[in-house]
Amino acid sequence: MEELRTFEASEKFKAEALVRDRSMYEAAAADRLAFWAEQASGLDWVEPWSEVLDWSDAPFARWFVDGKLNVSANCLDRHVANGLGDRVAYYFEGEPGDKRTITYAELFAEVQQAANALKDLGVKKGDRIAIYMPMIPELPVAMLACARIGAAHSVVFGGFSAASLSDRIIDAEAQVLITADGGYRRGAPSMLKGIVDDALQSTPTITDVLVVQRIGDAAEPVNMQEGRDHWWHDVVPGFSASCPPEVMDAEDLLYLLYTSGTTGKPKGIMHTTGGYLTQAAFTHKYVFDLHPETDIYWCAADIGWVTGHSYIVYGPLANGCTSLIYEGTPDTPTEERRTGDRAAWAKDRFWEIIANYGVTKLYTAPTAIRTFMKWGTQWPQGQDLSSLKVLGSVGEPINPEAWVWYHTYIGGGRCPIVDTWWQTETGAMMIAPLPAVTTLKPGSASGTLPGISAELVDDAGQPVGVPGGGYLTITEPWPSMLRGIWGDPQRYKDTYWSRFPGRYFAGDGAKFDADGDIWLLGRVDDVMNISGHRLSTTEIESALVDHPAVAEAAVVGRDDATTGQAISAFVILRGGVTASPELQAELRNHVATLISPIAKPADLAMVPELPKTRSGKIMRRLLRDMAEGRSIGDTTTLADPSIVPIIEEALNG
């Protein structure tokens, strides 16, 4: 594939774009707080703020001090009041093929009914509600119902185990759990209620469970504990579709979202109301160049992760956008392909959905893009993707090869790609291009968004020059920043603010190129020390995927008595490519040529798949354990645990 070094949006795209020059950057640089105040003024406030930012108790920020608003009202009430009740809020596509179209007026009514149902269960402002659901419309309904009455939600990804669910419920002291009997995944029911029952054996704070019936008679009977468990369809529709929104302070807790910690104990990341919604709405609008009257927007993440919170629920709804929710996976068995052989399944479900709904903006992960590359170009080329206007990338650095493939075969060579860097902790995008303004480079996230201040620093905390590499730090507070770790303010300070005093640092490395554009290198704990040389796993993975035989790669560092660490590589070959010792040697040498002989993998295994969670994240810990010959332990969070012995065989073969 011919390398695409830079990309500029077309003149037609620029002429219609919301931001066409750098004046927004200049305004933010001239007065950062005034800039964020202007963005916040686009929301409906019950009471105005007295101060944009109080940073006197750093690192604990207060944004839009004394301001009052309600997130649910900003996502629903104001749009309906402005005559947009008939606009579609969500198109829902179930994996079996069932469909729903939900207008803003219909979503508004159901959210109020669900809010009243929660109030009837005794939920009040300040309580915590756990949510453990598949990708169905009742999930955003439940989140918005919590926001409406001032209860903080804690969404737990539907692929987590009973132990993970109970840990999060216990830490948050959640009072009510909202769940479903199950969902559909890869052509079959995936049950949740049994996992819930196991989890609740050790969660004394839960008094009531609301259960959405998604599967019904398609699977085994569901156990419903009398007095505790209530069917959603028996309870929610009976309540009034009128529930006044609770007036919330800008700094009241909106949600908890748990993320992994180095100690093994999940961290309850706290996000509040006014600042979070301001930045989620701002970044969604301008990074995707959103035109809500005409755009059909699809974020293909799971709402159980922060990407879904900010860019399926709160950002899009605050902007009055029409979004798409899809329940299943990109490869699903169609009626004529319902066989046990997954290789025979249709692999164009994403592209079919885009064609059917006329999706204009797509936001997905590099892991998914590399999977699509592996499956081949015939799948997207078999569907009409001409409606697409902007493509987004999220979750990890995107290697240039995947960027070019995404641009060429999904975007038809015409769509800007917005490569976004942010984290659960940041709440919203921090580094990303604005599509009509930025010259795009495959693999680079460009630069900070207006109003965001970042620097790369060395081990001593000193800023590095251009070009240069170092630790990515944020130097000024931002509206959607985490407000702490639930129940553990000291851990918040130690985790994010102690490595470089006065700077936020959450573990990512990056480099500046000669133009000052930022290239993310992944987490510094994914940086290997080979004979005293620091090498990024991301750079080596990108070098492997640069080879035309490789569809996807994962690299880990394993202990080595001589070099400190040695590089173990795992690659998935493209369709039609045959594994051989000669190709293995060629790939190792390819890395040495592109990066350095020091970066040459010590061993390289050709595997049919990589160990991934259901969200598509590669579990490098398992690969490291396998490379070092250790017991790999629990694999229940993997999408396909059966892949582990196959990888071990390839590694040892």
> Cis bond leading into 477, ω under 30°?
no
Domains in the chain: boundaries: 453-524, 531-652
Same fold, 453-524 and 531-652: no
| Mean pLDDT to the nearest integer, 509-514 | 94
- What is the identity of the amino acid at 223? N
**pLDDT tens figures, 241-269:** 999 999 999 999 999 999 865 445 789 99
pLDDT digits (tens, 9 = 90+) for 139-168: 999 999 999 999 999 999 888 888 889 999
Per-residue confidence (pLDDT) for residue 261, from 0 to 100: 55
Parallel, antiparallel, or unpaired: how do β-strands 99-103 and 361-364 relate?
unpaired
Q: If we measure between CA atoms, which residue out of 327, 325, 367, 371 comes closest to residue 348? A: 371
Asked if 184 and 328 count as a contact pair (C-beta separation under 8 A), the reply is yes
pLDDT the model gives residue 1: 38
Do 481 and 427 contact (CB within 8 A), yes or no?
A: yes
For residue 597, the model assigns a pLDDT of 79
pLDDT at 82 over 60: yes
Kindly tell me if the per-residue pLDDT of 531 is higher than 70.
no
Size of the chain, expressed as the number of residues it contains = 653
What local confidence, expressed as pLDDT, does residue 532 receive? 60
Residue 646's pLDDT band, with cuts at 50, 70 and 90, is confident
What would the mean pLDDT of 503-523 be, rounded to a whole number? Answer: 92
Q: Which residues pair with 231 in a beta bridge?
A: 211
Q: Could you tell me which residues come within 8 angstroms of residue 249 by beta carbon, excluding any fewer than 6 positions away?
A: 66, 67, 68, 273, 274
Q: Is the pLDDT of residue 337 over 60?
A: no
Mean of pLDDT values over 225-230? 97
Q: Using CA atoms in the order 277, 280, 11, 298, what is the torsion angle rounded to 10 degrees?
A: -110
Could you give the CA distance from residue 581 to residue 583 in angstroms, rounded to a whole number? 5
CA distance 465 to 115: 52
pLDDT at site 618: 82
Secondary structure element (H or E) that encloses residue 209, with its range = strand 208-212
Q: Is residue 76 scored above 90 in pLDDT?
A: yes
Helix (H, G, I), strand (E, B) or coil at 542: helix
Task: Using alpha carbons only, give the angle 83, 86, 89 rounded to the nearest 5 degrees.
Answer: 110
CATH architecture for the domain at 453-524: Roll (2.30)
Residue 472 φ then ψ, to 5°: -85, 120
Is the preceding omega at residue 467 within 30 degrees of 0, hence cis?
Answer: yes
The mean pLDDT value of the chain amounts to 92
**What stretches of 78-220 show up as alpha helix (H) in DSSP?**
78-81, 104-120, 138-149, 162-172, 193-199
At 573-632, the pLDDT tens digits run 998 899 999 999 999 999 988 777 788 999 999 999 998 876 677 888 888 888 888 877
Number of other residues whose CB lies within 10 A of the CB of residue 445: 26
Helix-strand-coil split of the chain, %, nearest 5:
35, 25, 40
CA angle, corner 598, sides to 594 and 600, nearest 5? 60
Burial 589-616 (b: 16+ CB within 10 A, else e): ebbeeebeeebbbbebbbbebbbbebbb
User: In the prediction, which pLDDT does 2 show?
Assistant: 43
pLDDT at 516 over 80: yes
What pLDDT, on the 0 to 100 scale, is given for residue 272? Answer: 98
Fold of 531-652: GMP Synthetase; Chain A, domain 3 (3.30.300)
How many angstroms separate the Cα of 272 from the Cα of each of 152, 248, 278, 283, 431?
A: 9, 10, 11, 17, 21
Q: What is the mean pLDDT of residues 529-550?
A: 82
pLDDT-based confidence at 638, cuts 50/70/90?
Answer: confident
Stretch 213-225: mean pLDDT, rounded? Answer: 88
Tens digit of each residue's pLDDT (9 = 90 or more) over 274-301: 999 999 999 999 999 999 999 999 999 9
Q: How many Cβ atoms are within 10 Å of 184's Cβ, its own excluded?
A: 24
Q: What is the pLDDT of residues 432-485, one digit of tens each?
A: 999 999 999 999 999 999 999 999 999 999 999 999 999 999 999 999 999 999
- For position 396, what pLDDT does the model report? 85
- pLDDT of residue 528 exceeding 70, the answer is yes
pLDDT of 335 > 60? The answer is no
- Which H or E run includes 191? strand 188-191
